[in-house]
A and B are shown apart, each in its own frame.
Chain A
């Protein structure tokens, strides 16, 4: 068999009070692959993705990353894990009082032990990669949404993570700037970055995903390569969800 997956979830459960948000989730993410999570609002996509870095604490089940199993109750273990797994949020969440450069050097200096010079050189190189080298000294508020999100992506990359989680990274953006962000994500995928992406961009999913996972009501309904999942979904629940999207989805012309 192939090497073990980079991220592996088994029997993951999460409750919010009496409400069960996740039911026995099993999920594997191979190193270098792109897994896209889709599903209706409230199906538990954000909860699941947040369980992978402990922003939401799973109640039961197991999580292992790079072959090491994570002690779900140990805050220190989560903190170490988070230095290895990046996350990009819908609302960018850049630190508004720090320049773009400082946003990108803060955690690498504190957690990776880089010197300021190293961290800044790395940050400038990453910014150049996403066409924002000239924004290094600006504050986030002076950037467009798409620019902020690209900074958020390279801020995550600056931690040299093993994988990056994306929770609807383009949902807050204007249509014109969505393209820029998706281009950056395509580039990452090409370079072999391991990504778990929650998105409503079905064109992107089709083109970039190695596997698409469809969730409903806190459970994984089905998963598979994009051609199979979009082209010939097995479950009625998946078919119903996709048929609702079909009219607005740009890339289902294939």
Chain B
């Protein structure tokens, strides 16, 4: 069986619709997971009573259970307690919670490099712990944590393909769906791998631009 480029071209519009959904669900989840990471890391680093234990437990739970189980829990489990989300938002919630746990740990690593001296200097100026966190500690921590945060974002993007399991018509779902009708396995999987690769490259490029901008203060 030859590689049928014409077939792929014909599937272009369907693949593009899947790609668009993958991009949407991933971008929203990346942004939200970074916010979860910042909030969670703040709670941990500022040692907010009780909440910091909750955050620690959440991180452990996410890291030690399969993402697919988490996804099924959200999509099939939560409606049982009256929380019914759409396919799309179930996917966003799952990816956000999953990646958020890793972003907390990434940012905590970055925060560990922010010296006690800057905390004291902030407090000595009358800044509150929260202002120290978001004006000083977090911006510095992000610079250090950016490579790890990019890795998590890339994993999130790739893991968005799990969402096909609940029937969200993202890129992988489209491919599997077509294969079940046309049996063009080689073409389809080759195509989506190339597309995922391209997405990861774009994401890496954007991150390197961000890194360049963030590091301006440290280039002399």
A106, B135: Cβ atoms closer than 8 Å: yes
**A159: which of B126, B128, B136, B143 is its contact (CB, 8 Å)?**
B126
**A139: which of B128, B136, B220 is its contact (CB, 8 Å)?**
B220
Interface residues on B, range: 20 to 34
Supplied contacts A93-B120, A95-B136, 11 more A-B pairs, CB within 8 Å: A55-B120, A55-B124, A79-B126, A96-B140, A97-B214, A99-B217, A107-B127, A111-B127, A141-B218, A141-B220, A156-B125
**A111: which of B121, B125, B139, B220 is its contact (CB, 8 Å)?**
B125
A97, B125: Cβ atoms closer than 8 Å: no
Chain A residues, Cβ within 8 Å of B217: 96-99, 139, 141
A82, B140: Cβ atoms closer than 8 Å: no
Closest residue of B by beta carbon distance from A54: B123
A82, B124: Cβ atoms closer than 8 Å: yes
A53 within 8 A of B: yes
B49 within 8 A of A: no
A142, B220: Cβ atoms closer than 8 Å: yes
B118 within 8 A of A: yes
Q: Which of B121, B126, B214, B220 has the most CB of A within 10 A?
A: B126
B47 to chain A, nearest CB (A): 13
A204 within 8 A of B: no
The contact string, 1 if C-beta is below 8 Å from chain B, for chain A 131-160, is 000000001011000000000100110010
Closest residue of B by beta carbon distance from A96: B217
Q: How far is the CA of A110 from the CA of B135 in the complex (A)?
A: 11
Q: Which of B125, B128, B214 has the most CB of A within 10 A?
A: B125
A95, B118: Cβ atoms closer than 8 Å: yes
Q: How far is the CA of A107 from the CA of B121 in the complex (A)?
A: 11
Q: How far is the CA of A82 from the CA of B126 in the complex (A)?
A: 5
The contact string, 1 if C-beta is below 8 Å from chain B, for chain A 59-102, is 00000000000000000000110110011010101111111000
A-B interface pairs (CB < 8 A), number:
71
Q: Which residues of B contact A (CB under 8 A)?
A: 117-118, 120-121, 123-128, 131, 135-136, 139-140, 143, 214, 216-218, 220
**A106: which of B117, B125, B218, B220 is its contact (CB, 8 Å)?**
B125
Closest residue of A by beta carbon distance from B136: A95
Chain B residues, Cβ within 8 Å of A83: 125-126
Q: How far is the CA of A111 from the CA of B131 in the complex (A)?
A: 11
**A55: which of B123, B140, B214, B216 is its contact (CB, 8 Å)?**
B123
Closest residue of B by beta carbon distance from A143: B220
Chain B residues, Cβ within 8 Å of A87: 120-121, 124
Chain A residues, Cβ within 8 Å of B117: 89, 91, 93
Q: How far is the CA of A74 from the CA of B127 in the complex (A)?
A: 15
B121 to chain A, nearest CB (A): 4
Q: How far is the CA of A141 from the CA of B218 in the complex (A)?
A: 7
27 residue pairs bridging A and B, Cβ less than 8 Å apart: A55-B120, A55-B123, A55-B124, A80-B126, A82-B123, A82-B126, A89-B120, A89-B124, A91-B117, A93-B117, A93-B121, A95-B118, A95-B136, A96-B217, A97-B139, A97-B218, A107-B125, A111-B126, A111-B127, A139-B216, A139-B217, A139-B218, A141-B220, A142-B220, A152-B121, A155-B125, A156-B124
Closest residue of A by beta carbon distance from B135: A106
Chain B residues, Cβ within 8 Å of A142: 220
Closest residue of B by beta carbon distance from A99: B217
Q: How far is the CA of A83 from the CA of B135 in the complex (A)?
A: 17
